[in-house]
């Protein structure tokens, strides 16, 4: 392992983050996030668990083909069939990694694998050796390491490095440890295992006690050189260490830590918004770094101080994570060049031809419905354009009537290919009636699991964002729709989800 001050950022949003109930992603959505992670300049992307499903294998393989700069990793148990699937999935990658794991704590050995320490050690060694037949870059994780006996953990780490592991992960799989305890453990491990300098030591901390970021930083101070994390701290149970927290802590307090990353921090906010949108997992307003209130100041004393000098109550700037320093409000009288300038400032690559022919007319449609068009409106517009062409079903027309003395009724027209179908339905409310009409058109039993609505801009003409989660058979997907009209947004979200259900 190189003795330098660079910390490798291993992003597992597409694997561990996706394990959150209700956060599953389609192949195209995974690829969209992976491309943003590449722009963010993460070192390693854990793209999925290839053996877990044919869809995951295909998604990892597609990411391996398209995303070229980061290392593309796949997760697998220390089992040959898992490793075979992982090797197949990452084969197209410019730089691929097989990440194999097995539980080493007494709880995992006794209750999950129903084995012995000796057998677990053998399986760990065999798994690494087998993975090395396919890939020179092999990572091994001792799952639930923080509840594993120290002497046994040292033995496992030493032997998997001998077997060819180039990275060894020491996970706090259940969020059990504390910063002081974990720091001592990593330092002691670094000083005890004789061949530890032949591998990068990584950590993967869960947030069950709210200490995932602190634990990860304590590990870095004591010798770990790879941190495994997710955008927005997404992950099963209470989540993982948040990438934005790790990176900005190291950057903001370099005087304390003395370490650097290669992350382009100006891409953090865009990554956060994208992951929240595609997974349907909102970011809490008071979330550190990327929350809506992270750079807000309500107190008069604070506001006065910030205006005098930003450092009085600000340790990071909005621009440092990619939030524009100012907001240019556009109206229906704004020109094409103003629109193009603002889109480029928001990180979208557009040319004059595309702006004139496609985006400006779309912008004018929004501007005609709203007095002012804000950055959030433009982001929603561009995200909608990115989805265009992939939707199987599109909304052509709707008309809804409702009131406290009539039965809510909606007429809907939906287009699939060249065919347009119409249906009328009644429901408990206008959204219910709309969804019943759409279900009648598509002729499929789709169960609505979740429905969320929020305003993405301010004011009485704000755009509403509807996120739904639907289920058909064993498949669950998210759908999203945006419009100043909430019934329209609801219809678009439902059709977005149904389109995803029919994607191959």
**Three-class secondary structure assignment of 49-64:** CHHHCHHHHHHHHHHH
Determine the pLDDT at residue 389.
Answer: 54
Rounded-to-10 torsion of CA 28, 32, 38, 44: -50
Which pLDDT value is given to residue 4? Answer: 75
Contact 92, 68 (CB under 8 A): no
Name the CATH superfamily for 8-279: Aldolase class I (3.20.20.70)
- Which among 63, 147, 137 has a CA at the least distance from the CA of 111? 147
Average pLDDT, the chain: 90
> How much is the pLDDT for 355?
81
Q: Once rounded to an integer, what is the mean pLDDT over residues 260-285?
A: 92
Quick one: pLDDT at residue 1? 43
Mean pLDDT, residues 255-266 taken together: 97
Task: Sheet containing 409-416: give its strands across.
Answer: 393-401, 409-416, 419-426
pLDDT at residue 301, rounded to an integer: 62
Query: What is the per-residue pLDDT for 334?
Result: 86
DSSP state of 263: -
DSSP code at position 397: E
The mean-pLDDT minimum among 30-39, 247-256, 321-330 falls in 321-330
C-alpha distances in angstroms, 471 versus 25, 56, 228, 276, 297?
Answer: 13, 18, 31, 20, 41
* Chain center to CA of 318: 20
Residue 384: band (very low, low, confident or very high) from pLDDT cuts 50, 70, 90: low
User: What pLDDT does 275 receive?
Assistant: 93
Tell which CATH classification among 3.30.160.270, 3.30.70.260, 3.40.50.150, 1.20.1050.10 matches the domain 392-501. 3.30.160.270
Place of tokens 């064993």: 474
β-strand 409-416 against 393-401: which pairing, if any? antiparallel
Is pLDDT at 300 greater than 70 in this prediction?
Answer: no
**Above 50 in pLDDT, residue 51?**
yes
Residue 428, pLDDT > 80, answer yes
Q: Which pairing describes strands 419-426 and 226-229: parallel, antiparallel, or unpaired? A: unpaired
Note the maximum CA span of the chain.
79
CA–CA dist 504, 496 (Å, integer): 14
Q: For residue 36, give the nearest of 226, 213, 205, 231 by alpha carbon.
A: 231
Question: What percent of the chain is modeled with pLDDT above 70?
Answer: 93
**Burial zone of 226 (CB within 10 Å; 0-12 exposed, 13-18 middle, 19+ buried):** buried
Average pLDDT of the residues in 15-24? 82
pLDDT, residue 332, reads 85
Task: Check residue 294 and give its pLDDT.
Answer: 85
CA distance 361 to 376: 18
Residue 44's nearest CA partner among 73, 5, 6, 77 is 73
Helix (H) or strand (E) holding 377: helix 375-387
pLDDT of residue 420: 95
Q: Is residue 152 a contact partner of residue 105, using CB atoms and an 8 Å limit?
A: no
What does each C-alpha distance from 472 to 27, 182, 497 come to in angstroms?
17, 44, 10
- Among 92-106, 263-277, 291-305, name the most confident range: 92-106
Does position 235 have pLDDT exceeding 60, yes or no? yes
Q: What is the model's pLDDT at position 65?
A: 98
Q: Pick from 395, 393, 400, 392: which is nearest to 424 by CA? A: 400
Task: Write down the pLDDT at residue 444.
Answer: 77
Task: Determine the Cα–Cα distance for residues 70 and 215; give it in Å rounded to an integer.
Answer: 25
Residues 435-442, mean pLDDT to the nearest whole number: 95
Rounded-to-integer distance, Cα 76 and Cα 439, Å: 39
Please tell me the predicted confidence (pLDDT) of residue 422: 96
Give residue 326's pLDDT band: very low, low, confident or very high (50, 70, 90).
very low
Mean pLDDT of 44-73: 96
DSSP reduced 3-state for 21: coil
Contacts of residue 296, Cβ cutoff 8 Å, sequence gap at least 6: none
* Residue, of 326 and 81, whose pLDDT is higher: 81
Greater confidence (29 vs 213) lies with: 213
pLDDT at 84: 98
* Residue pLDDT, tens place only, 439-479: 999 987 889 999 999 887 777 777 888 999 999 888 888 88
Between 191 and 391, where is the model more confident? 191
Whole-angstrom distance, CA of residue 24 vs CA of residue 501? 12
């Amino acid at each position: 392992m190189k003795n330098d001050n660079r910390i490798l950022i291993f992003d597992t949003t597409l694997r561990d983050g996706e394990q959150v109930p209700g956060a599953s992603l389609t192949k195209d959505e995974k690829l969209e996030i992976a491309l943003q992670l590449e722009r963010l300049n993460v070192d390693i992307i854990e793209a999925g668990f290839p053996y877990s499903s044919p869809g995951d294998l295909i998604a990892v393989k597609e990411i391996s083909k398209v995303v070229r700069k980061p290392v593309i990793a796949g997760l697998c148990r220390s089992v040959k069939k898992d490793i075979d699937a992982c090797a197949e999935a990452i084969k197209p990658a410019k730089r691929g990694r097989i990440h194999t794991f097995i539980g080493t704590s007494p709880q995992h050995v006794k209750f999950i694998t129903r084995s012995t320490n000796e057998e677990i050690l053998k399986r760990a060694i065999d798994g690494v050796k087998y993975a090395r037949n396919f890939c020179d870059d092999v990572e091994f994780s001792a799952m639930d390491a923080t509840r594993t006996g120290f002497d046994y953990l040292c033995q496992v780490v030493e032997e998997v490095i001998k077997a060819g592991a180039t990275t060894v992960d020491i996970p706090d799989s259940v969020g059990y440890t504390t910063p002081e305890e974990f720091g001592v453990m990593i330092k002691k491990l670094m000083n005890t295992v004789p061949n530890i300098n032949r591998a990068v030591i990584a950590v993967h901390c869960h947030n069950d006690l709210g200490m995932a970021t602190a634990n990860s930083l304590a590990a870095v101070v004591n010798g770990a050189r790879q941190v495994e994390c997710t955008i927005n701290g997404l992950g099963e149970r209470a989540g993982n260490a948040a990438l934005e927290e790790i990176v900005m802590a190291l950057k903001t307090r370099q005087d304390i830590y003395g370490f650097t990353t290669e992350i382009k921090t100006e891409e953090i906010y865009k990554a956060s918004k994208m992951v929240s949108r595609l997974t349907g997992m909102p970011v809490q307003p008071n979330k550190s770094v990327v929350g809506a209130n992270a750079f807000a100041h309500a107190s008069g004393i604070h506001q006065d101080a910030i205006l005098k000098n930003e450092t009085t109550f600000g340790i990071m700037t909005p621009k440092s994570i990619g939030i524009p320093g100012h907001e240019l409000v556009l109206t229906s009288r704004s020109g094409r060049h103003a629109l193009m300038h603002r889109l480029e400032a928001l990180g979208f690559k557009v040319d004059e031809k595309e702006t004139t022919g496609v985006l400006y007319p779309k912008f004018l449609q929004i501007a005609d419905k709203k007095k002012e068009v804000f950055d959030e409106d433009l982001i929603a517009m561009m995200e909608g354009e990115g989805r265009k062409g992939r939707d199987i079903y599109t909304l052509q027309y709707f008309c809804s009537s409702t009131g406290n003395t009539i039965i809510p009724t909606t007429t809907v027209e939906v287009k699939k290919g060249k065919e347009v179908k119409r249906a009328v339905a009644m429901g408990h409310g206008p959204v219910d009636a709309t969804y019943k009409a759409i279900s009648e058109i598509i002729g499929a039993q789709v169960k609505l699991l979740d429905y969320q609505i929020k305003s993405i801009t301010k004011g009485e003409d704000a755009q509403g964002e509807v996120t739904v989660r639907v289920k058909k058979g064993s498949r669950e997907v998210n759908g999203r729709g945006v419009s100043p009209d909430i019934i329209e947004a609801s219809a678009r979200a439902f059709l977005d989800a149904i389109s995803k259900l029919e994607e191959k």
